[in-house]
Structure 1
Amino acid sequence: MSTTEATGQKADRWHRRVESGDWEAITTEVNEYGGALLPQLLTFEETAEIRELYEQDGLFRSTVDMGRHRFGEGQYRYLNAPYPEPVERLKQALYPRLLPIARDWWTKLRRPAPWPDSLDEWLQMCHDAGQTKSTAILLRYRERDWNALHRDLVFPLQVVINLNKPGVDHTGGEFLLLEQRPRAQSRGTSTLLPHGHGYLFTTRDRPVKSARGWSAAPIRHGVSAIRSGERHTLALVFHDAA
């Protein structure tokens, strides 16, 4: 990439939105709770455009019925690559901000941190290991739908974006985190995501101080029941799957 192209990329609207966040505060919050609210990453018009993609079957590689698999209730679809521009550009803009957090966590937990400096390099490593399936997800929740608490693997951080207006398009549907603390009762947090805003969270665990240094506190994530209306979510996943 030329210097001009690199400068233009860093100056585009996707990078500006990501960089509008207070990343010192975001890092502190995700270190403490395993999740942190991000700034508005998509305009209301952009969220509407992405919601409308859900009915276009040719854009997706597979569809998952959560009830059938006992994942909760609702449905989600894996987008085909190449992704729509907002999905690809936001992933590229977010990765450099997530990478230092992931590396710091894995260093504290005495785990090898395999992630290179660029997302493209990391995805190539995934492909070389046989992980070639696209992973960006559109989720749709309707009344009484919910997402069971669970953990994911591979890259330890993920970002979700609420594509609907809470209190207008839907009630309920809070994003949930449940942390299993060492030798203590579990701690839960609930966050109602504002329209178009991102939420950064750990997909599996975070380091917590212990008598012997650092221990891994497993964290599960999910979504509370939709009381009324409909809620769509865009999930930005920072690896490809086998």
Structure 2
Amino acid sequence: MTTTTNAKDTFARRIGGADWPAVTDEINDYGCALLPRLLTPAECADLAELYDRADLFRATIDMRRHRFGDGEYRYFDRPFPEAVRRLREELYPRLLPIARDWYAKLGRDAEWPDSLEEWLEICHRAGQERPSPILLRYETGGWNALHRDVFGDKVFPLQVVINLNAPGEDHTGGEFLLVEQRPRAQSRATATLVPQGHGLIFTTRDRPVMSKRGWSAAPVRHGVSAVRSGRRHTLGLVFHDAT
């Protein structure tokens, strides 16, 4: 058995170990849902250490310079680290039924095929060819403004973030923030402190919510609260590529 096969089986087992009906209910209720541990502490440390390997990335973004917040993030270039590639491949088919259900409720065409590879080919034919997995680094005082990760016309409505550091040990603060504009109502905010190695699924752009007129699309933005102390690294897994 090869290392590649072992890695596929490992990530498939971890992702398959989630209570997916409960995860689906939670994300339908709140627009986000925690997953069990997807990466061990050692795997988290290995990924965080890659941040200083500039050769692995296609671009580096200074959030303060662009008024996105205070911190820095880097877009991985191909080929991806094994863990990044496997997590994306194994998560996509688990998220796909939720995505299709959401678009059915909103009366939209769900164009996503059964495999991530096929979907990314569609993105590439539409001119969205640049890889989208992100590694983020926040120092003390760092934060991320509310935003959406929409990189073109082709959008997958769910994405996943994984905290590579241990809250309360490596950093304080740095909660994941989700703000949803409810139909004809005030915005609703959700804050989640993601445990080390755990995934958080969340809404990319909008999601269906029930209103008096039926299902409506509620716009959603996400960000990160101020890191009070320490350093926080996160892995962002977006399931559509960029223009």
After the TM superposition, which residues 75-154 of structure 1 pair with which residues of structure 2 at under 5 Å, given as runs? 75-153=72-150, 154=155
Q: Structure 1 residue runs of 4+, over 3 Å off?
A: 8-11
Shift of 1:212: 2.2
- Match for residue 35 of structure 2? 38
Which amino acid in the other structure matches residue 72 of structure 1?
Answer: G
Mean alpha-carbon deviation: is it higher for 85-94 or for 206-215? 206-215
Which amino acid in the other structure matches residue 32 of structure 1?
Answer: D
Shift of 1:11: 6.8
- Match for residue 182 of structure 2? 181
Structure 2, unaligned stretches of length 5 or more?
none
Structure 1 residues 29 and 68: alpha-carbon distance in aligned structure 2, compared to 1, 3 A threshold: same
Query: Any idea what SS the aligned residue of 2:231 has?
Result: strand
Match of 1:51 among 39, 48, 51: 48
Q: How many residues in Structure 1 have an aligned counterpart in Structure 2?
A: 237
Query: 2:181, 2:220 within 8 Å by CA — same for their partners in 1?
Result: yes
Quote the Cα distance in structure 2 between the aligned partners of 1:46 and 1:9. Answer: 15
Structure 1 residues 132 and 168: alpha-carbon distance in aligned structure 2, compared to 1, 3 A threshold: same
Quote the Cα distance in structure 1 between the aligned partners of 2:76 and 2:33. Answer: 25
- TM-score of the superposed pair, with normalisation by structure 2: 0.95
Query: Any idea what SS the aligned residue of 2:241 has?
Result: coil
Which amino acid in the other structure matches residue 56 of structure 2?
Answer: L
Shift of 1:228: 0.3
Mean alpha-carbon deviation: is it higher for 10-19 or for 59-68? 10-19
1:95-133, Cα deviation, whole Å (9 max, x unpaired): 001111111111111111110000000011111111110
Which amino acid in the other structure matches residue 232 of structure 1?
Answer: H
1:35-62, Cα deviation, whole Å (9 max, x unpaired): 0001100000000000110001100000
Structure 1 residues 11 and 73: alpha-carbon distance in aligned structure 2, compared to 1, 3 A threshold: closer
- Match for residue 164 of structure 1? 165
What is the percent sequence identity of the aligned residues?
Answer: 67
Quote the Cα distance in structure 1 between the aligned partners of 2:196 and 2:72. Answer: 20
Which amino acid in the other structure matches residue 176 of structure 1?
Answer: L
- Match for residue 235 of structure 2? 234
